Each structure stands twice: as C-alpha cells, then as structure tokens.
Structure 1
C-alpha cells in the first residue's frame, strides 16, 4: 500500500498542491539572472614563450556574447576598449576588479612558463600558448564555467570549474595537469575566478549591454524587443491562468 493511501484529496488540498507547484515553477533555479538566451563572458589569453624585444609576451581579449570589447597587455598592463560596451563599462567597479584579476592571471601564466618545462617542438620556436576562461549563464539560469589550455586552436587540457575536474585532451596537456591538479591553491584560484568573479562581471556588463540595445534600437526594432519580452512572460501567464481555472472548477466557483 502506498504512502498516499490514507490521504483524502479534497478540493482544498488539491488547491494547496497546485499553489505549491506554481511557486516552484516561479522560483529562480540558479545564480544568474533569468534570461531568454544564454549569456557568456570569456577571456582569451595568448602567451609567446619567446617574445621578441618590444613584443608583448602575453595578450588577452575579452568577449561578451562573442563580441570583443577589450584588449589587455599582461606585460604593460595596458587595456584598450574595443567597442561601445568597453567604453560604457570603463571606469565601473566591475571593470577595475576585472583588470586586477587579469593581472593576477597574467602573473600566474608567467610563473607557469618559468616552472613548467615545455615539451620539445619540431618547429624552431615554441608555439604560442593559448588559454581561455569562459563563464556562461544558460537560459535555465544555471552557471557554467571552464578553463581551456592549448595552442593553435587545439585544446590540450580542460578544467571544469564547477566539478573541479581536469581532463587531458592531448598528450601535451598531461604535464600541466599533473602539476596543477596537485596544487589545490591553483585549482581554487581558477575556480573562484571563473565561477565567482567572471559571473559577477557578466551580470554587471549585461546591464549596460541591454541598456545600449534599448538606446540604439530603431523604432521598427522596438516592437520586436517588446514582443520578445512578452513571449518570455507567456509561460508564467499561462501557468497562472491554468491554475486559477483549475482552482475555480475544483471549488465550484
């Protein structure tokens, strides 16, 4: 006999269960603000093991929703705004915190080049090393974050920030995995930046991003934006309507 055998499902009890279901549907399910589409923020680092005199040994580019908005020189710590969004968020608290963290990441990458003995390459000079930090708020408001390490567009090593797991995708990533996986401080540092700092910056930058879209939208685009927002609200509206109708039928209203 099931645990519900002794329960009498009266109209009042069913009404209560429906209301609880409605509350669960309306509650947020993650750390990111609710959005109709996924939002992303990433930083691509390119490191030159043998930089020429006067050449930067490390450069980074920041992208919001795959649109580049800044360029950063790890050596000189010079940052350039490359879009209207970069100009808009320049000077904000999130922008300043971002610069400080990029500097710390640059220092970590430099230390890596000094400590880790690079594998031999067939080319005369070692290939440029590439790092990518990505944080993403998906449509279901779930935060995802990761670090990718590789060269020439090929990923050697992947760090899943949420699960704190390392995955070797190419033999060249094995040495780095062995060194960093055993270093709890490095692992926690990478996780904190991608899961915490990056998500916070993304939320801040997206506020300015959406304001820019509203400001630059033409009159013909405005109805489309309004319709998109109305579409996003429709599921909640339908849930409310169905719930109220069901309650009315149960209570005989």
Structure 2
C-alpha cells in the first residue's frame, strides 16, 4: 500500500515537472519598419508600428521621434524607463536599414512593376511561448512583397522571392549587420517583451486591443516549435502510461505471490 502511494506521488510529481511552465499564455512583440529613402513632403522616411499579439499599440516616426499611442497598452508603457532606450534602438535600426538600401535594392522587387519610389519593409518579431521558451525572426520585403526571412532560431536565411537574393548575399556575408539583427531581436526585443508583460498581462487577459495591424509582411513563425511541443506532449503521455502499466503489473504480481503463499500455507 505504501509503495502504491509512493508511486502515485511520483506520478503526480512527474506530471508537474513535465507540464510546468505551460500554463502561461504565449505572447509576441513585433515592430514593422517602413523605410522610404525619398519620402514625399507629408511622408516620414522611417515609420515604425509596434504590435503585441498582432494588435497595434504605437506608431513611431524615426525622423521626428514622435510617438502615437494607439491603445491602452501603449499608454501603459509610455512611462517606463525601458521605453526611452527602446526608441533609440528603433531609430538606430531605421538608420541602418536606410543605409543598407542602396546595396540591397533589387532590379525587380515585385511581381508587378510599379511606378513610384521603392520602399523597404522590415518586420522584427520576438515571442515567448507558454513554456517560457523565446525566439525571434526578421522578415524583409520591398513594396509589400515578402522577399526574405532571417530565423534567429537556427541562423538560416530563407528567400521567398527572387528580389531578396541580393539582400541575402550581402547580409549573409556582413557580420556587423547580422550581429545587429541578432542583438536587437534576441536581446533588446525579448527584454522589452518581458518588461512590458509585467504591465500588460492582466490587460491582455481581460481585454484585447481593438486596433489590429495590417502589416505588409505577415509573421511566419517556424512550424518546428509547434511540432516539437506535440512530440514532447506525446512523449510525456507515453512515459506516464508506461509507469502506470508498470505499477499495475507489479501490483498484480504481488497479489498473485501472496495468493500462492496463502494456498501453500
């Protein structure tokens, strides 16, 4: 009897270990950069939209440093010390992307050639999964056409359109640029998300922001994370069922041995 209690207690403890950290909701933080090297009079050369869980919470003009808070989520974080350093990083990112445009501008950047100035879109996304694992990626495109993805999980560049070939070749061989992308997404973005969630989590659970983004480059989080979670879940269930079967087997065997001893007596 004591052995059964111990085994059941072990099962409970194992379940807690296997499934701990999965109760938290996953959250993502994204910044959409639109770089226009030759803007019109009423157009900023660099505009950034911030999103949490794909809901817009602010708009930032890199040139004038003006911020528009688009939802209560934005109002909640504008007084944080983290935000002051964040605007500097966003402006530096805009400057870097503008400097890179002469080197990465493709001859044919969209499926349909369009008249007018060329714009570069970049989307940085970092997210925290329910188990606490965090990751990040960058997406790049021209005039709304997704061209290139940089996955920080594995360090791979994926090309979605021929217009991104020159961009990939240049940036794959430029350690300073790739290190900057890694630092901002895997370092700064994750730290911002963690700090913001301290203020945001109650708000995110009770209500969602009514303003949703219409990004030119849609997020395409790698499916490998979902597959990994499914495999781990199946493996955990297999372990628990195996332990239960072993306990039942030992219990039946003990009962059989006790019955044989009783008959022999």
Answer whether TM exceeds 0.5 for this pair.
yes
Q: Any idea what the Cα deviations from partners look like across 1:177-222, whole Å, max 9, x if unmatched? A: 01111111211211121122111111222221223357879xxxxx
Q: Is 2:106–2:164's contact at 8 Å kept on the other side of the alignment? A: no
Quick check: 1:70–1:86 contact (8 Å CA) kept in 2?
yes
Q: Deviations over 1:52-104 (max 9, x none)?
A: 23531110100111111111112222222111111111021221222121011
Q: 1:215-249 CA deviation, whole Å, 9 max, x = no partner?
A: 879xxxxxxxxxxxxxxxxxxxxx9xx99xx8xx9
Asked if the contact 1:50–1:125 (Cα under 8 Å) also holds between the matched residues in 2, the reply is no
User: Partners in 2 of 1:168 and 1:68 — Cα distance?
Assistant: 27
5+ residue gaps, structure 1, are 1-9, 29-33, 218-238
What secondary structure, in the 3-state scheme, does the structure 2 residue paired with 1:187 have?
helix
2:91 to 103, 106, 110: 103
Match of 2:232 in 1: none
The superposition leaves residues 85-132 of structure 1 with CA deviations (integer Å, 9 ceiling, x where unpaired) of 111110212212221210110111111124445425643323322110
Moved more, 183-192 or 56-65: 183-192
Q: SS at 1:145's partner residue? A: strand
Tell whether the 8 Å contact from 1:58 to 1:73 is kept in structure 2 after alignment: yes
- Cα 1:170/1:118, change in 2 over 3 Å: closer
| Secondary structure, aligned partner of 1:59 | strand
Where does 1:14-163 land on structure 2 (aligned, <5 Å)? 18=11, 21-22=14-15, 24-25=17-18, 28=21, 35-119=23-107, 122-163=113-154
Q: Decide whether the 8 Å contact of 1:48 with 1:127 is kept in 2.
A: yes
> Could you tell me how far apart the structure 1 residues matched to 2:5 and 2:200 are?
46
Tell me how far 1:137 sits from its aligned partner: 1.3
- CA distance in structure 1 between the partners assigned to 2:175 and 2:17 by the alignment: 37
Structure showing greater Rg: 2
Specify every segment of 5 or more residues in structure 2 that has no aligned partner in the other structure, as ranges: 209-239, 252-265
Tell me how far apart the structure 1 counterparts of residues 6 and 23 of structure 2 sit (CA, whole Å).
33
Q: Render the CA deviation track for 1:138-163: whole Å, top value 9, x for unaligned.
A: 22332121100013443100000121
Compute the RMSD of aligned alpha carbons. 3.5
Instruction: Check the 8 A contact 2:35/2:94 in 1, yes or no.
Output: no
Q: For 2:205 and 2:154, how far apart are their aligned partners in 1?
A: 37
Residue 168 of structure 1 is matched in structure 2 by: 159
Q: What TM-score, normalized by structure 2, do the two folds share?
A: 0.68
Could you state the TM-score of these two structures normalised by the residue count of structure 1?
A: 0.70
